[in-house]
Amino acid sequence: MTKSIEDVLAKSKEIENALKLARQLREAHEWYSLYGSRYSGGGGGVGHFHCNVHIYHQAYNGAKNYHPVADGLRQSVHEKLRDVLPGIVEQALKELGEKAEAAMAGVEKNDGKTVPISRT
């Protein structure tokens, strides 16, 4: 069976997308692995989330656009974010993993031949 150039390009884009998602998933896991791990630079410590909360709002051209959390709220907001961020990141990692798996499943079969795609 002869494939059209459009079919080949479409399959190429599917493979490209699957590889992009796999790379993003690997990078996301590498980034999240820093959370809770010990480090020695800067006096040492344990990796943690650093929360820098701003509201973007520009009332008019030339006005200030980034507004940091009000002083009276800063500590409480940062503590609450640090409490919930691990769960949010874990859910986002799960969703990215599902997207990557679905994309890879869509391109693994190519004319009955397996297309090798790294899942790491």
Q: What is the pTM assigned to this prediction?
A: 0.75
- What is d(CA 83, CA 15) in angstroms, rounded to the nearest whole number? 38
- What is d(CA 13, CA 114) in angstroms, rounded to the nearest whole number? 17
pLDDT number for residue 26: 97
CB neighbours of residue 104 within 10 Å: 20
Asked if residue 119 has pLDDT above 60, the reply is: no
Mean pLDDT of all residues in 56-73:
94
Confidence label for 7 from pLDDT (cuts 50, 70 and 90): confident
Mean pLDDT of all residues in 51-66:
92
pLDDT number for residue 73: 94
Is the distance from CB of 96 to CB of 28 less than 8 angstroms?
yes
φ, ψ of residue 39 in degrees (nearest 5): -140, 160
Domain ranges of the chain: 5-114
